Amino acid sequence: MKILGGGSLQHVYAFLVLLHVQSSIGISSTTAGDEVRCIESERQALLAFKQGLVDEYGWLSSWGSEQERKDCCKWEGVQCSNTTGHIIVLDLTTMHDDHGYYLGLRGNLSPSLFELYHLTYLGLTEIDFNFSLIPKSINSPNKIQHLDLSYCNLSGPLPSQLANLTSLQYLDLGFNNFNTVKNLEWLSYLSSLKYIDLSGNDLGKSIPMINTSTFLTDIDLRVNNLNSSTFHWLFNFSKSLVYLDLSDNQFQGLIPENLGHMTYLKKLNLLQNQFEGGIPKSFGDLCNLLSLDVTYNNLNGLLPEIIDSIREWFWNLSSKAFHVNLSSNQLYGVLPNLSTTKFADSFGPGIDLSKNKLEGLLPVFPVNVTSIHLSENRFFGSISSLCTITGGKLEILDVSHNQLSGKLPDCMMQWTSLAILNLANNHLFGKIPSSIGYLHRLESLGLQNNNFSGEIPLSLGNCSALQFLNLNNNSFFGKIPTWIGERLSSLIFLLLRSNHFSGDIPLKLCWLKKMTLLDLSNNNLSGNIPSCIQNLTTLAQKESSAIDYSFADSYDDRKIPVQVSVLSELVQLNLSRNRLTGCIPSNIGQMSQLESLDLSWNQLSGQLPWSLSQLYFLGVLNLSYNNFSGRIPSGTQIQTFDASSFVGNPALCGLPLTPTCPEDEKSESKTKNRDIAEFWKWFEAGMELGAAIGFVGVLAVKLDHSWKHLCFLLFNNVKHSLGNLKDCLYLLVAAVGLLVREHVSRLGRKLKLFGYQSLPRSG
């Protein structure tokens, strides 16, 4: 269960600490007219810290020794006191690009950083310190109030010197590698601590041993393999805690009643544990609670009883801005009429009961509901009750993966705010009603795996914000509308697989410049594959994990266009189960990023082009059941695939297929004899070389050091001039000199064991 309305306080709290630091201690300006210069020893400490880092993106380019960069108070992430010039803030946590990706620093955590003795704020989150240990000198800046080393790839143990940071109010060590920590006793000395995040460190049994500040308001211990013994320690903070996150741990049994005594709690996260039973009645005392998440547990019981329990304590909440989430549990029963005041107040504007065992008809919903998540249950019958939602506030409607049936009601003009409509995997049938054209804000429409029929309605073209359209596995027919390319310009996914569409593939689909996934397979399409498909530039971006150029099962009688090879960045190409003829384009090797190629079950012929061996990233290949002939080209990847990739081509030969090519059989005996003759030629040469080396070796025993060194170089150069295993064998034979002659007959017998019936001499 999740009640949204109060977000995480972490970033807000960090901002307030920084604001407090700036207001209580003067911060130097970074304008050109400043006269304050940083302390030389602190500048050197920062430069030493930078020296241990790799800065690929130049974030620390302002840090330097040159005259124009000498004032470290103007460096990126550095702030100094106006009154003393000392560095008091180092914040390197904002190094992200416009898309939120961290353009990171990496390297070592240098102890020199903690020579900034006046530091009050240190934020280094997401810098990859490559399993560095936290230096014991971390306690040197003992006035520090804010310390953030989260996601830094640090390792343990944690130094006990952390106990000396008695001014610390904010401590975030989340998601590092402190899994060797045996206890956290040093925390008991941090009497000013208000916020602590030790998440993602697999602390196990370390937590119950600490007795820390009674002023703690925020505790984040998620992903730590904790068990129920932790609760005894947590109950010490019943009068101060505002935020508590215990998600992704190993808690079992009933949710403790004592959690209901933490009356200041605004957010409680118990997601993904093994709690059983229901919601404790003591939660009725949590009058400040705005968010409760108990999803992915083993809560069970009859849903109406759970709702009654919730209603009793939600009635007294000071804010109605919440969202109830009881998803991913084992709740069962039939939903009552949710439009009544009793249940409308219990659920608030959003309802999430997905992934349970609920059954029966869909209930009547509150008119002003904003989101409905009832997917993966056992609801059946009509969906006409959805027409009672007339408030115009509905944004998300997901009733997928149920057993709903009947026609889609023509009442969508009431849902003008709808952004996501998911009715997939039910038994719905009939046509898409024309009222769908009123959904101007619709971004995602999922109707796949139903029994819908008819043509795609023209009114769908009014949904210009649509990005994801999935009509797979229905009975739609007619031509694919040309207006899709004209009016739905925001489409990213267009999935029309396994319907009854016919006619040509519209050329105007090439107008969809944002397209990343196009699937028209298993229809009755005919005509050419448009050569303009190469204009779908987004389809050719390797960064997309869902790239697919799939017209499988579309029954096209044409050849593979040469233009397809222009898609040099294409990752997946699927033209299987059509009626394609002709040859594979000889320049297919230009599709250098191709990872998956499926041309199976067509009528393709000719030899496989040698450029196939240039597809170095190819991981999936299926050329089966065509009319290919000739030798399978040898290359980096092609001959490593299973024989099933080539079956059904009777005239195809060569590895990995069992039949060898005819020319291979004719040349096999010649190759054996040639190899043996070559062996004896090298053998005799090796005898002579061995004798020479042996003679030099004997002389070297009696010569001075310089001659010995010369002999060694001679032998070493000879050794490195032989580049393969056969040469090494000849060198070995030569090195034993005259002893080899005594074992020629033995060597002959051994060669016969490998299939050589005679020992021809060179000549």
Q: What is the pLDDT of residues 675-723, one digit of tens each?
A: 555 555 555 555 554 544 444 343 333 334 333 333 333 333 333 333 3
Q: Which of 188-202, 297-311, 389-403, 738-752 has the lowest mean pLDDT?
A: 738-752
The three-state secondary structure class of 13 is helix
SS3 content of the chain, % helix, strand, coil (to 5): 30, 20, 50
Confidence band for 242, pLDDT divided at 50, 70 and 90: very high
pLDDT in tens, 567-591: 444 566 766 776 667 788 777 777 6
User: What's the confidence (pLDDT) of residue 585?
Assistant: 77
Domains 10-372 and 480-660 fall in the same CATH topology: yes
**Of 422-431, 511-520, 580-589, where does the model show the most confidence?**
422-431
Residue 749 has pLDDT above 50, yes or no: no
Pairing of strands 274-277, 298-302: parallel
Instruction: Give me the mean pLDDT over the 266-288 stretch.
Output: 87
Q: What are phi and psi for residue 421, nearest 5 degrees? A: -125, 115
Half-sphere exposure of 103 (CA within 13 A, CB side): 13
Q: How far apart are CA 259 and CA 285, in angstroms?
A: 10
Structure letter (DSSP) for residue 177: B
Q: Which residue has the higher pLDDT, 555 or 159?
A: 159
Mean pLDDT of the chain: 76
Instruction: Give me the mean pLDDT over the 206-226 stretch.
Output: 80
Instruction: Give me the mean pLDDT over the 436-451 stretch.
Output: 96
Q: Which of 40-44, 134-138, 698-702 has the lowest mean pLDDT?
A: 698-702
Asked whether 186 and 156 are in contact (CB, 8 A), the reply is no
Residues of the chain with pLDDT > 70: what percent? 68
What burial class does residue 714 get, using C-beta atoms within 10 Å of its C-beta: 0-12 exposed, 13-18 middle, 19+ buried?
middle
Between helices 705-720 and 662-702, what is the axis angle to 10°? 180
Instruction: Give me the mean pLDDT over the 247-272 stretch.
Output: 91
Distance of CA 689 to the CA centre of its chain: 59
User: What's the confidence (pLDDT) of residue 97?
Assistant: 66
Among 393, 319, 381, 387, smallest CA distance to 351 is for: 393
Residues of the chain with pLDDT > 90: what percent? 37
Q: Where are the chain's structural domains? A: 10-372, 480-660, 664-753
The three-state secondary structure class of 564 is helix
Residue 346 has pLDDT above 70, yes or no: no
Asked whether 476 and 496 are in contact (CB, 8 A), the reply is yes
Residue 169 has pLDDT above 50, yes or no: yes
Please give the structure tokens belonging to residue 384: 């006409």
Residue 536 has pLDDT above 80, yes or no: no
Q: What is the pTM of this model?
A: 0.59
Residue 39 has pLDDT above 90, yes or no: yes
pLDDT in tens, 634-679: 765 788 889 999 999 999 998 888 767 877 666 555 555 555 555 5
Q: What are phi and psi for residue 706, nearest 5 degrees? A: -65, -40
The CATH label, of 3.80.10.10, 3.40.640.10, 3.30.360.30, 3.60.15.10, for the domain at 10-372 is 3.80.10.10
> For 480-660, which CATH superfamily applies?
Ribonuclease Inhibitor (3.80.10.10)
Confidence band for 351, pLDDT divided at 50, 70 and 90: confident
Length of the chain: 763
Confidence band for 200, pLDDT divided at 50, 70 and 90: very high
Residue 171 has pLDDT above 70, yes or no: yes
Q: What are phi and psi for residue 161, nearest 5 degrees? A: -65, -15
Q: How far apart are CA 446 and CA 76, in angstroms?
A: 47
Confidence band for 342, pLDDT divided at 50, 70 and 90: low
Asked whether 244 and 219 are in contact (CB, 8 A), the reply is yes
Beta-sheet strands, E only, within 433-489: 444-446, 451-454, 468-470, 475-479
Q: Identify residue 335 by its one-letter amino acid code.
A: L
